[in-house]
């Protein structure tokens, strides 16, 4: 199989940050998505390669293995174990003399090890390693993203999606936050030689809401009140996640005044019955023009 450069597929440098990788993937995924390229086999292949590259490089642990071992990164740890075992055997054979074990280079011997593991023709290193010919290895982990609205994230609910042709149903606890990652054990790619499946890592992306701004477990909202309510006081209806509430506005309320509604914020993750607070900031709507009577009243107020 020809070597696939995952960095080249994503169009990023090897020193790219995890955030750069995430941004590059999202940009290309929108461009190459099958829904936007119907019956386009080339775009379909590129989209598949893009997802494969993202699955590896978005996981820091897998990325480190890929940087070290290239296309055979999934079996790098097994190579290191076999290499150490081979060195111990050489040391024992020479009874601790001047030859203290084989000083194998990683790049020179990994390919031979990989070939011996899977029956390919080639070099001999690893053939004598115990169990290597029938070793079981865990499958590749998979990284996926799940998009939620703020209101979705505020309720415990189930979602079903498809990974590797299989439907997966998960329960998403209320209070999950943007960028949070969970692991589903055994939902990754199949193992090698009957080994266990890899794991599925899901990262949650929570879109900004048009009404509320989230700050941890608290919510913030701006509420407009007219000038007369700000001066004289009155009632205003304020939206919350579970409906509207009536709030009393004090007389002579200043622009930017903030009040706290305790327990009306965001649910706390995995703490049922616990909520943050809702902070309401008043914005004053000044009239665009005044009639003669209103002007007289303002003048009287000014001179009082």
State which of 180, 206, 232 marks the end of a domain.
Answer: 206
Note whether 181 and 94 are same-domain residues: no
Q: Which residue has the tokens 């290895």?
A: 137
What is the structure's pLDDT at 115? 46
What's the angle, vertex CA 86, arms to CA 81 and CA 90, rounded to 5? Answer: 150
Radius of gyration of the chain from its Cα atoms, rounded to whole angstroms: 31
Which structural domain, as residue segments, surrounds residue 174?
A: 142-206
Total domains in the chain come to 3
137: DSSP letter:
B
What is the structure's pLDDT at 168? 87
What is the structure's pLDDT at 76? 67
Note whether 159 and 194 are same-domain residues: yes
What is the structure's pLDDT at 148? 93
State which of 134, 165, 180 marks the end of a domain.
Answer: 134
Q: What is the CATH number of the domain that holds 241?
A: 2.60.260.20
Q: Which residue has the tokens 């509320």?
A: 212
CA 7, CA 15: separation in Å to the nearest integer? 10
Closest residue by Cα to residue 142 from 66, 29, 53: 53
Q: What is the CATH number of the domain that holds 15?
A: 1.10.287.110
Note whether 38 and 99 are same-domain residues: yes
Note whether 173 and 257 are same-domain residues: no
CA 65, CA 67: separation in Å to the nearest integer? 5
Mean pLDDT by 10 residues, the chain (304 residues): 78 91 88 80 85 87 84 68 56 41 41 44 32 66 89 94 83 92 89 87 91 95 94 94 94 94 95 95 90 83 77
Note whether 220 and 298 are same-domain residues: yes
Tokens representing 218? 């608290």
Q: Which residue has the tokens 């086999």?
A: 41
Ordered alpha helix ranges (H), 96-166: 106-117, 150-153
**Would you say 163 and 144 are in contact if contact means Cβ atoms under 8 Å apart?**
yes
Note whether 130 and 149 are same-domain residues: no
Cα–Cα distances (Å) from 95 to 84, 87, 129, 192, 220, in that order, read 17, 12, 20, 36, 72
CA 55, CA 202: separation in Å to the nearest integer? 11
What is the structure's pLDDT at 179? 87
What is the structure's pLDDT at 97? 37
State which of 206, 235, 253 marks the end of a domain.
Answer: 206
What is the structure's pLDDT at 294? 80
Q: Is 1 a member of any domain? A: no
What is the structure's pLDDT at 154? 96
């Amino acid at each position: 199989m020809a070597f696939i450069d995952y960095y080249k597929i994503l169009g990023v440098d090897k020193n790219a940050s995890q955030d750069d990788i995430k941004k590059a993937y999202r940009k290309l995924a929108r461009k190459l998505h099958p829904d936007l390229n119907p019956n386009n086999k080339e775009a379909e292949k590129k989209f598949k390669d893009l997802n494969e590259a993202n699955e590896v490089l978005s996981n820091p642990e897998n990325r480190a293995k890929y940087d070290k071992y290239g296309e055979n990164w999934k079996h790098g740890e097994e190579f290191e174990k076999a290499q150490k075992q081979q060195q111990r055997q050489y040391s024992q054979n020479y009874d601790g003399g001047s030859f203290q074990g084989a000083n194998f280079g990683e790049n020179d011997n990994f390919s031979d090890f990989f070939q011996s593991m899977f029956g390919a023709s080639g070099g001999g290193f690893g053939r004598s390693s115990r169990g290597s010919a029938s070793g079981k290895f865990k499958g590749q982990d998979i990284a996926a993203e799940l998009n939620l609205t703020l209101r979705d994230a505020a309720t415990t609910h189930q979602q079903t999606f498809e990974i590797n042709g299989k439907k997966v149903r998960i329960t998403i606890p209320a209070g999950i936050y943007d960028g949070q990652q969970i692991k589903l054990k055994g939902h990754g790619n199949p193992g090698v030689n009957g080994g266990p499946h890899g794991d599925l890592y899901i990262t949650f992306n929570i879109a900004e809401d048009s009404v509320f701004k989230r700050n941890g477990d608290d919510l913030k909202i701006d509420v407009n009140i007219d000038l007369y309510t700000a001066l004289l006081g009155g009632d205003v209806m304020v939206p919350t996640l579970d409906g509207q509430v009536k709030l009393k506005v004090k007389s002579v309320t200043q622009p930017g005044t903030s009040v706290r509604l305790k327990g009306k914020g965001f649910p706390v993750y995995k703490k049922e019955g616990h909520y943050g607070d809702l902070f309401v900031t008043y914005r004053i709507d000044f009239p665009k023009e005044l009639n003669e009577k209103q002007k007289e009243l303002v003048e009287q107020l000014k001179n009082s």
